Structure 1
C-alpha cells in the first residue's frame, strides 16, 4: 500500500480543502443549470499552480509529476469533474512536450499561469478511437497550411486560448494510416473560434461547466511555424502522450466515486426508515463497505501507475488497466450511491446524480473501456491475425 510523503499529503489536503470550500458550492449551483466554470474559480486554481503542475520549473511550472497531478485531480473531481478536466487544458494538453524550444518559451509560461489554456481537436464525426483514420487535412500553401475538415468532441473550443489540431498532411492510404498525421497549434481569441472555423455545441447529458463542440475547418490558415514537432508524426505524439491523460481519467473516476460514497454515507446516517437510520440496515452497510473497498483498490493501482510514469518507464498497458478499472468502478459506485439515496437520488436536489452522469462518461473518453481491453489483451495475447 502506497503511503503518501508529507509533501504529497500537504498537496492532497490543500486540494481537498480548496474543493470543499470553492469547487463544490459552485458545482452545486451551476451544474444543474449547465453553467460555465467561472473565471474567478479558474484564477484561484491558477494561484495554486494547478495549471502548471507538470510543467518544468524553467517555464514557470511546479515541476512535479503525474502522482501530484492525480492527487489534485481526484480531489477536484470529488467536487466537480469538469474542474479537474479544465486543469488538463494546461498540464495535460498532448503535444506541448514536442514543441520547439521557441514555442515552449512562447507558450508554456502562460499555460503554467493559467492564462493560455487549450482545447484538443482530434476526434472526427466518423473517427473516435481510431486516430489513424483521421481525414481532416492540412495542405501546404506557401509558408502556411490550409486546414479543411470536421472535428467532433472538442471540449472548451470556445473558451480556450488556442486549439491543438490533428490533421492529415499526407493522403490516407493503407500504407499511411499511422504516418502523415501532423499536429498544429492555433492561437485564438478567448470566447471565439479561429478565422476559417465554425461550429456548434454538442447537446450533452452531463460534463457541464464548459461546452463541447463540433467544428468545421474551411481553409483555416495556419502559419507553418505553428507545426508542432515533425510533419507526419502527430499520430505517434498523440498515442505516446496518452498515459498521463488515462491515469488522470482514473483519478477523476476515483474522485467521482468518492463523492458518491461520502454523500451516500451522510444520507444513510440522516435518512430514517422503520424507526432507524438506514445506515443501520445490513444491506446498506455492506453496499457502502463494498463501494469503499473498490475505491481504495483503484486508488492504489493509480498510485502505482503514477510512480511508473514518474520513474520514466513505459506503462501504456498499466495506464489502460487503471483507466478501465477505475472508470468501470466509478459507474458502479455512483449508481449504488444514487440507489442509497432512493427517490431523492433521482432529483437534482442532491449532487449524487451529477457524479453518476459524469462517471458514465469516464468509460468513453480518453479511449473507451473496450479500447483499454484491446490494449491489454494485445499485450498479453499478441495482436489478432486479422
Structure 2
C-alpha cells in the first residue's frame, strides 16, 4: 500500500465525492479487494467456531501497511490521516469487525501521542508499523466503565520501579499483544472537579501468548467480537521500570481523551462496514430467495427495507467523512465525533437486524454472515463510550452540564474519599 495523503484540502460536496481524492479511492478499493479475498473467507470459517485471527492474516495486513497507517513515514508508517484510517477500517469491518479492530492495535497508540522520541520508542514505533508491536489497552475496571476518572487500580513508586496492583476488565487481546498499556492511579485526585488528575499510563512489554508477570487473567465469555480474547485481569504487584511511564505522571487522562475523536470515528467506520456487509448480503439473498413464484426482491416491503437501510448507511458515511476531514484539518469536532459514533452504531444495529429479517429463518442460523454482523453491531453501541455517553456529550456541548451531572461528580468524589 504505497500511497501518500493528498496535499490538497478536499471540498466537501454534498455527495461526498469532494472528499474522495484518487489516492483515497485507491486506498478504499484496495482495502475492499483485500477484505473480500482475504478477510471475509477467514471470518466465515472461524467466527462460527470462535476461532482466533490467524497470524497469516495478520502478516498480510502488515504487508499492506495497515498497522502503520497513522504512524509517520520517518518511523516506517504510511503517515496518513484519520480519513484514510477510517476508509480502511470500514472495508475490513465489512468482512470481520475484529480484523478492523486489531488494525488499531498497531498505529503506536498512546506511545505515538505521549511517548518521548527516545531511540527505544522510535524503535518501538517502527516495530508497530510492521505489525510486530501490537497493543492491548487496560482502562476499564469491574466497577468502572464510562467513568474512567474513577479508576482504582494503583501504581506505587518503589525506587526505579512502579508496582501495579488492581483489577482491569474488558482488556481485549491481553494475551496476544506485545504490550499492554495500563492506566492506574498514582496519586489521589486533588478535588471533585479534578478527578482526572493523578492517573498515569504504563507500557508493559510481554511475550505474545502470555500475560505480564504477577498478573492473572481469565477470558470473558462473549456473544460476539470473536477472533481474539477479551480478558479480566488482576495485577498482583506487577513491577515495571520507571521509564515505562507514558507521558507525564498523573496526566494520563489527557492521553485517554486526546485521541477520542479518532477512536469514535473508527468505531463509526466499523459500524458502517458491518451495516454495509449486511446490506449487500440482504440484497443478494433477496434476489435469490423465491416465494409465491418470484424473488422476494420484487416485494415492495423488501424493496423499502433495503432502500431505508441504504439511506441510513449513506447518511452515517457522509457524517463520518465530515468528522474525519475535521480531524485531519486540526479542527475540534468532539460534538460531531460523538454524533457519528452514536448515529452509526445505532444505525448498524437497526440495519443488521433488518438484514436478518430479510433472510427470515435462515438469518437466525450461522449459515449466513448476517448474524455475525448483527452480534458485532450490538457491541458498537457500548464500546468507545456507550450511546448514552455520546448523547450526554452532545447535549452537554449544546446545553451545558446539568446540575444533576455536577451533583453526580461530587457524590462520586465523596465515595472515593
Normalising to structure 1: TM-score of the pair? Answer: 0.99
Superposed CA offset, 1:201-253 (max 9, x none)? 00000000000000000110010101000000011110121111100000000
Cα deviation for residue 2 of structure 1 reads 1.7
CA RMSD between the two structures: 1.0
Superposed, 1:44-55 pairs within 5 Å as: 44-55=60-71
The answer to whether structure 1 residue 119 and structure 2 residue 126 are counterparts is no
Cα deviation for residue 92 of structure 1 reads 7.0
- SS at structure 2 position matched to 1:86: helix
Superposed, 1:305-344 pairs within 5 Å as: 305-344=323-362
The answer to whether structure 1 residue 136 and structure 2 residue 153 are counterparts is yes
Counterpart residue number, 1:68: 84
Superposed, 1:1-386 pairs within 5 Å as: 1-3=15-17, 4-91=20-107, 93-102=109-118, 103-172=120-189, 174-175=191-192, 176-386=194-404
Cα deviation for residue 172 of structure 1 reads 4.7
Question: Structure 1 114/193 Cα, relative in aligned 2: closer, same or farther at 3 Å?
Answer: same
Normalising to structure 2: TM-score of the pair? Answer: 0.91
Superposed CA offset, 1:7-31 (max 9, x none)? 1001011000000000000000000
Unaligned runs of 5+ in 1: none
Contact 2:149 / 2:195 at 8 angstroms: preserved in 1? yes
Contact 2:111 / 2:121 at 8 angstroms: preserved in 1? no
Cα deviation for residue 263 of structure 1 reads 0.1
- SS at structure 2 position matched to 1:171: coil
The separation in 1 between residues aligned to 2:32 and 2:241, in whole angstroms, is 42
The separation in 2 between residues aligned to 1:325 and 1:226, in whole angstroms, is 38
Structure 1 residue ranges (4+ consecutive) displaced by more than 4 angstroms after TM superposition: none
The separation in 1 between residues aligned to 2:375 and 2:133, in whole angstroms, is 29
The separation in 2 between residues aligned to 1:296 and 1:344, in whole angstroms, is 26
Cα deviation for residue 36 of structure 1 reads 0.3
Contact 1:134 / 1:167 at 8 angstroms: preserved in 2? yes
Cα deviation for residue 104 of structure 1 reads 3.0
Unaligned runs of 5+ in 2: 1-14, 405-417
Contact 1:90 / 1:117 at 8 angstroms: preserved in 2? yes
Contact 2:27 / 2:87 at 8 angstroms: preserved in 1? yes
